[in-house]
Structure 1
């Protein structure tokens, strides 16, 4: 039996670090967006987080996350010297432009009187920081920092001072568990206070997906400030009292059609000879609607009674079309006539039926909800769908 808890092979700390990096990037972007709407941000390109304006890097940031606050940003800190080594390479390759800030954002605390302490915004003393770093490079026995010591020491005094002048240490940054509070403060104005937790969950879901898309792209795809602004506005509309938000991941979610092949709503489509590709579309719409409705209920954005009212509306609209079809077919219609008429009703569901739940008009909600009702046998397409399904689900052959 495998015991619960971390093993030496666990990557949980690294994963938390990466997620923290993404969340901190979002927080810092929101702060800057207020005064610089044309800002762009990139994650894991030149460095952990890079802010640009008009294509020029303005801030190159290393993010250091630790589970607990410690005064471990000492003069021989591995966090500090790994970053210095990277920035020495940047500097020698001419990457930082005049005015570019090289920043370490860390949850740790810079020890008083340390080099990092003098590279903060307060009590800033570049000369003192250089002196301490040079002494550390000469006297420290840390093998892990040897390469960084060498690269920093080999810079000219003028270059070292110029590099340190561009360096900014931001210590005691919010811990991961505190970021919810800080992110909520940045977006408090976008929706009712009672819905701010759900709003942030939807917004971060979009953000993580956008970061992943950027990182997976073969070419650099920085995230534009305008994109964040647009997403905030879109979610603001969805979180109005008479609206409902859509999870970004569900808009394009797909599932394996084989997992649903025995579901009643799929059997209903097979009764009217719907092709496999359209059945696959139907399965995706069923899954998306079912999952989104479930999330709304879990998030207290929707009540069970709201779902009941919505489904009654769908039933009434379907019943009008269905009864009209049955009346026009008559009792002596051939099977192919029945199938053709039934496909017309299903075509209406796919192409024309548009019934918002509150003000949410996402098409997959209407289409998928009809499949949910079809799965419960409350609606159907074939004029004899109830009898046919009873025989089919009992394992009997369906008459042609």
Structure 2
């Protein structure tokens, strides 16, 4: 196989896996109204599964085709791989078809009068589907499907029929891009129309983080449907008209970012007044969170009418009289230690007392981080002589 073929196969495999993760979120959203007591899992009982108290109630095999529609013929590898998995389950648990729904979700098409076509939600005929499958199992020379044929044919006729009665084929399903559109439609009433895409992006970010924790053993292996509902409620509150969503309130900056920020002017200002190491680290964290959050609001056009500039002006006007009072305490012979002490007092107010909301956001990181953003530009400072240390504008960027 050529390098290009390997790359294409790897890409298709990765997209197929992302598809099942994204589809699991869509399935979880759709389960909220009628099956909120269930949990959903990925790669636990099947590709995707719903379970109640640890017992599966719905198993979902997902098959995604990239760049072509695919076809779910009677000899289809997709179809027989799925049947193989389910036949083995029935062989060891003959009552499972009475407790579990077996779903094959695929972007491929089941041709008319094929076995898969008789297992759709409507116009079903399980006996005809079994007849067609057994014919293929008896006559096909496919080595790839050989073990699957044996697993299915090895079931008793009643077991095969019970299995097929529990099977639902969902062909022509949306692809990985269309599934995201379906998720957005489920969230249509959760945010203003022009913000639904941003809400969807945030929900997916949360979801993939939860899924990674589940798959790596750092979180529960099944995710409660109600957890999805709760997260949607939280996002709905954040996206109310007039509200601003919070994305970076608990984010820690990467080590490389901390090292770079440690050289910034706002940190030099803190060291100018002998602020301790821990407080400098907190300042870097708040600067990072505030910078990232403000940038995201700006990218998503959530800030209007120059309100960020007005917010910075409010911070500056809160700082100005305090800094002026500090200057009033200075004398021509004021020693350096006294100047540092006065600067420490001013910073202590900004660090521990100042709390200025931006619209609906009252999170402390925004106020304190925004003070550091202004200090980074030398718009304000803490030491009485903070401007003396001000570098060229190019160094401030």
Normalised TM-score (structure 2): 0.89
CA–CA separation in structure 2 for the residues paired with 1:358 and 1:218: 36
CA–CA separation in structure 2 for the residues paired with 1:213 and 1:351: 35
CA–CA separation in structure 2 for the residues paired with 1:156 and 1:187: 45
Unaligned runs of 5+ in 2: none
Instruction: Quote the residue 2:6 is aligned against.
Output: 8
Unaligned runs of 5+ in 1: 395-400
Instruction: Quote the residue 1:315 is aligned against.
Output: 316
CA–CA separation in structure 2 for the residues paired with 1:173 and 1:272: 63
Instruction: Quote the residue 2:284 is aligned against.
Output: 283
- Structure 1 residue 347, shift from structure 2 partner: 3.4
CA–CA separation in structure 2 for the residues paired with 1:304 and 1:282: 28
The alignment partner of 2:143 has SS state of coil
Kept in 2: contact 1:69–1:109 (CA 8 A): no
CA–CA separation in structure 2 for the residues paired with 1:163 and 1:204: 34
- Structure 1 residue 375, shift from structure 2 partner: 0.7
Kept in 1: contact 2:283–2:372 (CA 8 A): yes
Instruction: Quote the residue 2:25 is aligned against.
Output: 26
CA–CA separation in structure 2 for the residues paired with 1:123 and 1:69: 26
Q: Classify 1:7/1:114 alpha carbon distance in 2 versus 1 (closer, same or farther; 3 Å).
A: closer
CA–CA separation in structure 2 for the residues paired with 1:330 and 1:98: 89
Instruction: Quote the residue 1:126 is aligned against.
Output: 126
**What does residue range 196-275 of structure 1 map to in structure 2 within 5 Å?**
196-217=196-217, 220-247=220-247, 251-256=250-255, 257-275=258-276
- Structure 1 residue 330, shift from structure 2 partner: 5.0
- Structure 1 residue 108, shift from structure 2 partner: 0.9
CA RMSD of aligned residues (A): 2.5
- Structure 1 residue 173, shift from structure 2 partner: 0.9
Q: Classify 1:329/1:96 alpha carbon distance in 2 versus 1 (closer, same or farther; 3 Å).
A: farther
The alignment partner of 2:34 has SS state of coil
Kept in 1: contact 2:262–2:284 (CA 8 A): no
Q: Classify 1:96/1:381 alpha carbon distance in 2 versus 1 (closer, same or farther; 3 Å).
A: farther
Corresponding residue pairs, total: 388
- Structure 1 residue 258, shift from structure 2 partner: 1.2
CA–CA separation in structure 1 for the residues paired with 2:300 and 2:113: 49
Instruction: Quote the residue 1:185 is aligned against.
Output: 185
**What does residue range 1-400 of structure 1 map to in structure 2 within 5 Å?**
8-10=6-8, 11-68=10-67, 70-94=69-93, 96=96, 98-217=98-217, 220-247=220-247, 251-256=250-255, 257-303=258-304, 305-328=306-329, 332-390=333-391
CA–CA separation in structure 1 for the residues paired with 2:147 and 2:118: 23
CA–CA separation in structure 2 for the residues paired with 1:92 and 1:152: 9
Instruction: Quote the residue 1:397 is aligned against.
Output: none
CA–CA separation in structure 2 for the residues paired with 1:208 and 1:12: 18
- Structure 1 residue 38, shift from structure 2 partner: 2.0
Q: Classify 1:224/1:351 alpha carbon distance in 2 versus 1 (closer, same or farther; 3 Å).
A: farther
Q: Classify 1:56/1:333 alpha carbon distance in 2 versus 1 (closer, same or farther; 3 Å).
A: farther
Q: Deviations over 1:291-340 (max 9, x none)?
A: 22112111111147121011111111222333333434655444334334
Of residues 274-283 and 236-245 in structure 1, the stretch that sits farther from structure 2 once superposed is 274-283
- Structure 1 residue 246, shift from structure 2 partner: 2.0
CA–CA separation in structure 2 for the residues paired with 1:162 and 1:336: 86
Kept in 1: contact 2:249–2:363 (CA 8 A): no
Kept in 1: contact 2:210–2:219 (CA 8 A): no
Normalised TM-score (structure 1): 0.89
The alignment partner of 1:302 has SS state of coil
Q: Deviations over 1:338-364 (max 9, x none)?
A: 334433433333333222211022332
